[in-house]
Structure 1
Amino acid sequence: MESINDDNSLYLFEADEEERARLNNQHVVLIHIIDNKILHAPINPSAITSVADVGTGTGIWLDAIAAHLDSISNDQAPQRQYVGLDITPAHFPAPHSLPDNFAYDVWNILSPVPEERKGKYDLVHIRLLAAAFVKGQVAVAVENLVQLLRPGGWIQWEELDGESWAGRVPSPHVREMSELGIKSMEAKGWEMHVPAAFVKAAEAHPSLQNVSETIYSTVKYGTKIRDEVNTTWLWSCTRSAKMILLASGQPNAEEEMHRLEQGAKRDIEEGGLFWDSDEHVLLAQKKW
C-alpha cells in the first residue's frame, strides 16, 4: 500500500527485494479471492487498446492483464499499450526487460494529470491504496482517474476497508494490531473507508456512470489457498503495526512487536484460524 501523504516516506513498506517478492505473491492471493478474475470491468476485450495501472508496484498486474487479453484476442488486433504509474520507481521492472508496448512512470494519484496522459486509456486499474488518502482526497483521486480515461473507458479499483482489513479473526493479538492501525489512521485523519468513499465520489461525478461495488470474502473465495491468505494478511498486519510502534517512540517497541507477531502466529496456527476479511471490487465507466 502506498503512503502518498507522508513527505518523509513515499512508501509504507520498505523498497527491497523482500517487499518486491511479497507484492508478487500478494497479487496471486488477491486475484484468487476475487473469483480468479483479472478483468472485472464489463468491457469488450477487443475494445481495449491502452491500459494504465496506478500504484503499479512491480507491474505484476500489468503483466497479468496483458497475458489475459493476448490469450483471448485474435492475431489481427492492434498492439495494446500498457503503462504502470506509481509514486516511487523502486519496484519498477528494469527498463531493458520491458516489451516495446510497456512503459513505467512516476505519478502521484493526487497530483494533476499530465497533459499527455489525459483521455488516453480504455481501462485504468488501481489496487490497495487504502493507506493513501486523508479524508476528502478520494474524490480528488476519482477526478484524476476520470481525466485519464477515454470516453466509455472503465475504472477498476480493488481495495480493502481500513476498519476491517485486519479481518474478523478471533485472535486477541491480531485485534491489538488492528486497533493500533485504526488509531493511527484516525490520528492522521486518513480515510478509513476508501471503498465507500469511492462509490460516493463516483456516483456524484458528472462524467461517470455504471458505478458498482462487489464484495468478495476470503472465507468464500480463499479457502483453497488458506495458508497463503493467512500469510499475506498477517504479514501486512504485522508490518504495519511494527512501523506504527517504531514511529511512536515507545521504548520497548521491538519487544512489543515481537510479542504481537508471535502471538498472532500462534493463535492462527494452534487455533486453526482462517483470516476472515473482504476485498472490494469497485467499477465506474466514463460517459461517452
Structure 2
Amino acid sequence: MVIGNDEYSIWRTAPDASRLCYQHFLWREVHKSNIHPSIDLNNKQDLRIAELAAGHCLWAMQVAEEYPHAQVEASDINLSLVPPKPDLPSNLSVSKWSFFDPVPEKWKGAFDLVHVRLVIQPFGGYLDPRAVLQKFVSMLSMRFRRLQNVKRVDQMMLEPGGYLQWDEYDYFDADKNNVYSANDPSRVPNPEVTHNASTKVWKIMMKTFQWPTEHFDRLSEYYAQAGLENVAAHRKRPPPSVFRGFFEHWYALIAQLLPVLEARDMEAGQEARHLLTQMKKDALLDGVYSAHITKSVIGRKPEASR
C-alpha cells in the first residue's frame, strides 16, 4: 500500500470508525492505560504529547483529559474520522500530516512522548520503517534542568529526553497458530488441523499486501540503532474475557479488506472469504478465537552532550 494515495481511504466510513473505536477500547482493557506504565511523565513542566496516525483521536482525547496541563497534538493523513472541534478537549490540537512527509520544524525536538499504534498497513510492499522511525526520534524532546542558584544556560543540566511508544501486534507470533479457547485459556491443540482458518487468513493477508512483519519484529533493534536507550518490547496477550472482542475486531477487519484483497488477487480473496466463514463457525460452535499478542516498544532519547 502507498500512503501517498491513501489507499485505505475505503475504510474512512462509519463502520470503520466503529471498528477503530472498538479496537481502542479493547487495547485499553488489556493494558488498563493509554500510556505504558514504564513511561514517567510526572513532574514535567510544559508537557507535550503527540499521537501520529491518530485516526479517530480517541487515544489523544483520553490522554488530553488525563493530562489537562499537557499540550496534546494529534495528526493523520486524513481527518475525516476526527470529532468536531467543539467536542475535543481544549488542550488537544489536530492537524493533517503523513509521517512519510518531512517533519514540520515546529515539531522537531518538541515532544515528551510520541505515540503511534498499528501502522504496518501503510508499509505494504515490504517497506523498511527505519526512515520513518528516525523522524519519530527527531520529534523527541531534550530538556534543560536549571540547578539551584544557577542562571547561565551553559551551567544547566540536560535531562533524558522524550519517549517513543510504538504499539503493534506481535507479528512474530501472529502467524503461528495463535488461537485460543474461551473455555480453556490455552492454545488449541494442533490448530493447523482443527482450527486453522484464522492462521491461514493471516498468511494470505501478509503475502498479498506484503506487510513487512520481519521489519516490525525488529523494532527494538531499530530503536537502539536510532540512538534510543532503555529500549524494551512489552508483550501482553489479551485475557480470556476479551478473546471474543479481539476476534470480532479481527473478523470485521478482514471483512473490510476482502474487496481490496480480491482486487489484487481474486483467488486469494475468494479463499479468504471462505476462511472467514470457517472462522465464524469455529467461534460460534467451538468457542475458539484468535487472540494476537499486543506489543508496545518503548524507548527514550538519551541525555546528550552539549
TM-score of the superposed pair, with normalisation by structure 1: 0.83
> Which range moves more in the overlay, 82-91 or 257-266?
257-266
Specify the alignment match of 1:276 in structure 2.
291
1:39 — aligned with what? Answer: 35
1:177 maps to: 201
For the aligned residue pairs, the C-alpha RMSD in angstroms reads: 2.4
2:249 is matched with 232
Tell me if structure 1 keeps the 8 A contact 2:64–2:91.
Answer: no
Corresponding residue SS for 1:287? coil
Task: Give the distance between the partners of 1:242 and 1:223, measured in 2 at CA.
Answer: 31
Aligned identity (percent) is 20
Matches for 1:199-210 after TM superposition, within 5 Å: 199-206=220-227, 208-210=228-230
C-alpha distance in 1 between matches for 2:265 and 2:106: 42
| Correspondences of 1:211-226 after superposition (within 5 Å) | 211-218=231-238, 222-226=239-243
Question: How many residues end up aligned between the 2 structures?
Answer: 267
Q: State the partner residue of 1:25.
A: 22
Partners of 2:263 and 2:117 in 1: CA distance: 26
Verify the 8 A CA contact 1:180 1:241 in the aligned structure 2.
no
Kindly report which structure 2 residues correspond to 1:113-262, keeping only aligned pairs within 5 A, or say none: 113-133=103-123, 134-135=125-126, 137-151=128-142, 152-162=161-171, 164-165=173-174, 168-169=178-179, 170=191, 171-186=195-210, 190-206=211-227, 208-218=228-238, 222-250=239-267, 258-262=273-277
1:6/1:37 CA distance change after superposition, 3 Å: closer
Change (3 A) 1:90 1:10: farther
Gap regions ≥5 residues in structure 2: 143-160, 180-190
Which residue does the alignment assign to 1:76? none
Aligned to 2:154: none
Paired with 1:135 and 1:259, the residues of 2 have a C-alpha distance of: 26
d(CA) in 2 for partners of 1:111, 1:161: 27
**CA-to-aligned-CA distance 1:29-80 (integer Å, 9 cap, x gap):** 112223x12221421333161110011010000122223335xxxxxxxx31
- Aligned equivalents of 2:208, 2:126: Cα separation in 1: 14
Give the Å deviation of 1:225. Answer: 2.3
What residue in structure 2 maps to residue 75 of structure 1?
none
Q: Distance in 2 between matches of 1:199 and 1:13?
A: 32
**Which runs of 5 or more structure 1 residues have no equivalent in the other structure?**
71-78
TM-score, normalised via structure 2 length = 0.78
Q: Bigger radius of gyration, 1 or 2?
A: 2
**8 Å contact kept, 2:204–2:272:** no
Determine if contact 2:11/2:256 at 8 Å carries over to the other structure.
no
Q: Give 2:128's aligned amino acid.
A: Q
Pairwise CA distance, 1:162: 4.0
Counterparts of 2:77 and 2:230 in 1: how far apart (Å)? 29
Q: Partner letter of residue 33 of structure 2? A: K
